[in-house]
Structure 1
Amino acid sequence: MNTALEILKKYWNHHSFREPQDKIINAVLENKNTIVLLPTGGGKSICFQIPALVKDGICIVVSPLIALMQDQVDSLNNKGIKAFTIASGTSQDDLITLFDNIRFGNYKFLYLSPERLQSPFIQEKIKQLDINLIAVDEAHCISEWGHDFRPSYRNIKILKELKPTTPVIALTATATKEVIDDIANSLEIKDAIVFKKSFYRDNLAYQIFSLEDKLGRLLQICTKTKAPIIVYVSSRNKTKEIASFLNANHFKASFYHGGLSAANKQEAFDNWISEKTPIIVATNAFGMGIDKDNVKVVIHLELPNSIENYIQEAGRAGRNGKKAFSAVLVNKNDIRIYKERLENAFPTIAEIKHIYKSIFSHFQIANGEINEEVFEFNLLKFSDKYKIPANKVATTINLLEANGILQISDSYDKKSTVQFLTSSNRVLNYSKSDSNTTKLIQLLLRSYGGIFEQETKINEFWLAKKAHLLSRQVVTILTKLETEELITYKKATENAELYFLVPREDDKTINSISKNIQKYIKQKIRKATDLVAFIENDAVCRSIQVLKYFNEKEFNKCGICDVCLANKNVYQDVSKEIMAYLSSNKTATSKEICEQISSKEDIILVNLQQLLSEEKISINNFNQYHLNE
């Protein structure tokens, strides 16, 4: 049996654990229940993946996000570790085959959504498996006090009933003491050891800038920063708009949001990772699986959803331990718009009932009927057809999914699938006359484990890059192989997949979850109120505000946030830098000088005034500064 450190070296190519990963792994290997609170970038997945690989049997991982589950499954499979997740709408016959493969195929990980655990059939199949560990990812979802409460997470404790002696590890990046206590109670692991790493980041400066010209400040920050940047915005259209603005100003930027095709999403991510486009403008869909340690600045052009979201997103900067910045740019209208958007985002119970009925009408499902098909669903077309605001439809669907009424998988979460129907030799013999086909088949065989046993998720764009082909060539080859009945190839569509989990009962269904919905909305409003208070509080060190929010007891002023810097009120002499710049450029406006010199704008302006008073520089009729002769 390999030790935890040997497995870390073999599959992750690391030679030591980060604190406190080794302590967590040892506790799990001793069959102790654990609750793990590690901030973003703390390496939570390794804390359950490595002990599961050390022990005999299979680890069940419960996660709320289909995309996150698939990313982790793909990552494990690419390492040669057998992992699997069950797609929406899989029939019972297919499930029987899948569980037989899992049981007898040396699989190590089974990823499930909490909704899947409601199925008595799946519960029965889990009983037959040798489960070595139960891992609950994003465990804050179990608590109504968390920032992303999902009532379906309350049902996870069924796993403890099915496997009472199997240890449980619950993991989250952001949780208050209320949430941690709620996790322990809900999962019935009150004996759990809690591992908690401080949220204090001595190299990360939280800075809130109140200003009217946000785009001007964005350009200044991008000019001064010679390292990768993430810019967060609140809408898909804004990602493209801001990326275009940056490119028009001679920066290299790409954009990323949930509605992109798999190929475009992968291209944007790869270009940013490789620093072909070192700036990426994104919605909060950009976050899962990011492991880039040299991000220098995370900029929020619009307010995040909560303090928890903000800390996760800001925490993607400075993972290499070097000085990094989180810059939130706000103006007078932002908070007003934020509050208005919050009020308009949540539908009433009556509106939710109307939307729920309309979805059934859209798919022509009768009252009392449960249809186990997978339906293709286009949110914008549905909203237009029934004259319902798209944001309210989206919120309603999220609420219905969180309460176990339906399940939805957006197209950007989906990938095409391939399964070989014959031996590799036969396929390779078939392809001998075409080098591109041979190259692609060999790449598929090397890259995807289990491709003969089941439908395996692939990424045509990634395959094309690796095989030095065009994406359309990959699709053409795979389509031809399917025509010859050598493989099955299911190409991803652009619509979402919607799957109903309960029979149609209209008002009765919504009435049964109305209390959960009202709690959820109340909690969202409270989280938003806490965030606004954080943004507006310019009297207390930002780090202290964050640490108090997460119930930490020990804290000192960080000395690097906007509040601490303002309170220092120390004059910084940058006159030499200003004069050197003017010496090279002859004339420049204050804005141009601020873009080039690495200091705060107000400090630069004070220095300019001092140089003017000393008659070392002058200003012309065009508000340009220049050196005096």
Structure 2
Amino acid sequence: QQKIKQLNINLIAVDEAHCISEWGHDFRPAYLKIPLVRELGISASIIALTATATKRVLNDIVTNLEMPDAKIFKQSLVRSNLALHLTRHEDIYFQLKEQLKTNTQSSIIYANSRKRVRDVSNYLNKNNFKSSFYHGGLSTEEKQLAFNNWMDEKTPVMVATNAFGMGIDKGNVQQIIHIDLPNSLENYMQEAGRAGRTGEKAISIIFGNEHSISNLKNQFKKGFTTVDFAKKIYNHLNQYLYIAYGELPQHPFEFDLTTFCNQYQLNILQTYNTLKLLEREQILSFDENFNVQSSLKFKVTPNKILDYAEQNKNQLIKIILRAHGGIFDHYIKINESIIAKKMNTTASYIKSQIIKLEKNGLITYNYNKNTSKLNFLVPREDDKTILKIALDIKQQNKIKLEKMNAVIHYVKNTSICRSKLLLDYFDEKINSDCGICDVCLSYNSHKFDYKFISEKILELLTTHKQLSSKEIIISMNVDTSTVLTTLQNLLDTDKISINSQNKLEKI
């Protein structure tokens, strides 16, 4: 505070200002302390900036930043060049390939788990679509490399969790694809808005059906933090790190989430979300960027390593081989704690066995501590600590449920223009339909007497030479019966034909 008093401050800028509202999609209680600078005698003007805020959030920003005479400048969220589409097809990988063939410029594919992000990126690379992946568990260097490769067009497709967000401003992003449902419409609006920023035509696609809705609900349940569970995690942390009642440690702790969860038989996702909640409430800080994984590579031939495993009945080698491809060609990252759980043993035992393999000349092993950093911000008071934030926890759970239900309503919608429905959520009313979302196209297809659909099909066949009816249906995002009727009409009028491979081609 003394340092702030010494500065010549003439403007206080609050970016991501929705974080000051409990109704915002990333509520951070620390933002509520911003107005305290007034008590230091600073009278500078305040500017608060946010890309997505409902009327309720805007009111909170004005109130919590103590800006009674605030002037609000609000730009319309209408993006007339961005087509909002939802597809209900189950074959995600096939549809991804079709979309990436059709739209060849930069793309971002969002998924809700680190494993899914990695798996999808690997699948695309195997199918000749150059992609990188990005999530919060990568090191700073790995994140920067993935970002640079995407920006430089070395890998035009980025597969990412919502950790890929800050500072993303690339002009040629043509499409955003959500293969999992976003957690809120605020998140969706921000992520979809990264396409078509130069005004060129762009598309945002959500894969949404009953299966994905069920996954979203299950994810919500797994991540749901009750007051009792928060107490449980907090008490286990104090036990695990040997913190005395009333003590406030003055140093950070190395913390392995997997080992902690194994010891107390806790769900990792639910525990992780609880730690993030405790961080938002300023009870502790949880630094995931402290995470550096070990890596290893086999030095001998596959036959030799398999012979060794058989002769020595080495289960560890078999587990590593099953879990990691390419381990004979390059270094792969491993998590000793996860391997230990599979073998029902400890991480230290796994490390000792890997070191033994290295001494025998079979592998090269780069051991790094796979930990995060945990720092306590308040003294230990057990249940009292959590009871102080109990009302916040309950309120946040209520808000998260409302946001999830809003996403489900958006996905289930088949009658209202998607732009109109989305803007209505943000308290912006528009009179006319967008005409380019999947709902509008489906509704208008009958008006065009199939002319519009026919033109799109012929364009597809010009690009791809030959396609099956299934491939065309998936690419069109129009109801199946309309596409099939149009295909029959094109066949009858000799615009297209069926070849020997039972595929359709343009005449």
Q: TM-score of the superposition, structure 2-length normalised? A: 0.78
1:535 aligns with 2:411: yes
| Equivalent position of 2:504 in the other structure | 625
Q: Tell me, in whole angstroms, the C-alpha distance in 2 between the residues paired with 1:170 and 1:564.
A: 36
Contact 2:85 2:437 survives alignment (8 Å): yes
Q: Deviations over 1:557-590 (max 9, x none)?
A: 1111111111212223676886798799886533
- Residue matched to 1:203: 81
Give the superposition deviation at 1:494: 5.2
**Alignment-mate amino acid for residue 265 of structure 1:** K
Which residue matches 1:220?
98
Is residue 264 from structure 1 mapped to residue 142 from structure 2 by the alignment? yes
Are 2:139 and 2:291, in contact at CA under 8 Å, matched by a contact in 1? no
Structure 1 residue 287 displacement after superposition: 0.9
Following superposition of structure 1 onto structure 2, how do residues 17-166 of structure 1 map, counting pairs within 5 Å? 123-166=1-44
**Equivalenced residues, count:** 428
Return the alpha-carbon distance in structure 2 between the equivalents of residues 137 and 506 of structure 1: 34
Correspondence for 1:565 among 430, 433, 441:
441
Which position in structure 2 is the counterpart of 1:556?
432
Give the whole-Å Cα distance in 2 for the aligned partners of 1:180 and 1:368.
39
Q: How does 1:101-500 map to 2 (within 5 A)?
A: 123-411=1-289, 495-500=371-376
After superposing the two structures, state which structure 1 stretch, 123-132 or 585-594, moved more.
585-594
Note the residue ranges of structure 2 that are not aligned, 5 or more in a row: 293-367
Please give the secondary structure, in 2, of the residue aligned with 1:498: strand
Indicate the SS of the match to 1:172: coil
Q: What is the SS of the residue equivalent to 2:275?
A: helix
**Are the counterparts in 2 of residues 140 and 147 from structure 1 also a CA contact under 8 Å?**
yes
Corresponding position: 1:589 with 2:468: yes
Q: Which amino acid is the alignment partner of residue 143 of structure 2? A: K
Partner of 1:434: none
Matched residue type, 2:283: I
Q: Distance in 2 between matches of 1:627 and 1:171?
A: 51
Q: Relative to 1, partners in 2 of residues 1:627 and 1:396: Cα closer, same or farther, differing over 3 Å? A: closer
Find 2:384's aligned residue among 497, 508, 522.
508
The answer on whether the counterparts of 1:258 and 1:412 sit within 8 Å (CA) in structure 2 is no
Structure 2 distance, partners of 1:497, 1:412, is 6
Counterpart of 2:295 in structure 1 is none
Structure 2 residue matching 1:497: 3-state secondary structure: strand
Conserved 8 A contact 1:214-1:330: no
Q: How big is the shift at 1:600?
A: 5.7
> C-alpha offsets along residues 438-467 of structure 1, whole Å, 9 cap, x if unaligned?
xxxxxxxxxxxxxxxxxxxxxxxxxxxxxx
Q: Distance in 1 between matches of 2:376 and 2:456?
A: 64
How far apart, CA to CA, are the structure 2 residues paired with 1:625 and 1:372? 70
The Cα of 1:396 is off from its aligned counterpart by: 0.9
User: What amino acid maps onto 2:434 in structure 1?
Assistant: C
Q: CA deviation at 1:626?
A: 5.6
Residue 195 of structure 1 aligns to a residue in which SS?
coil
Q: Cα deviations across residues 76-124 of structure 1 (Å, max 9, x unaligned)?
A: xxxxxxxxxxxxxxxxxxxxxxxxxxxxxxxxxxxxxxxxxxxxxxx23
1:319 aligned counterpart, secondary structure: coil
Give, in angstroms, the shift of residue 256 of structure 1: 0.8
Contact 2:291 2:369 in 1 (8 A): no
For 1:611 and 1:284, the matched residues in 2 are separated by 43
Q: Assess, with a 3 A threshold, how the Cα gap between structure 1 residues 538 and 586 changes in structure 2: closer, same or farther.
A: closer
1:293, 1:320 within 8 Å by CA — same for their partners in 2?
yes
CA RMSD of aligned residues (A): 2.7
**Partner of 1:499: helix, strand, or coil?**
strand
Letter matched to residue 385 of structure 1: Q
**Distance in 2 separating the partners of 1:227 and 1:386:** 47
Q: Which residue of 2 aligns with 1:22?
A: none
Q: Is the 8 A contact 1:262 1:412 kept in 2?
A: no
Q: Structure 1 counterpart of 2:58, which letter?
A: I
In 1, the alpha carbon distance for the partners of 2:56 and 2:207 equals 31
* 1:477 aligned residue: none
Q: State the identity as a percent.
A: 46
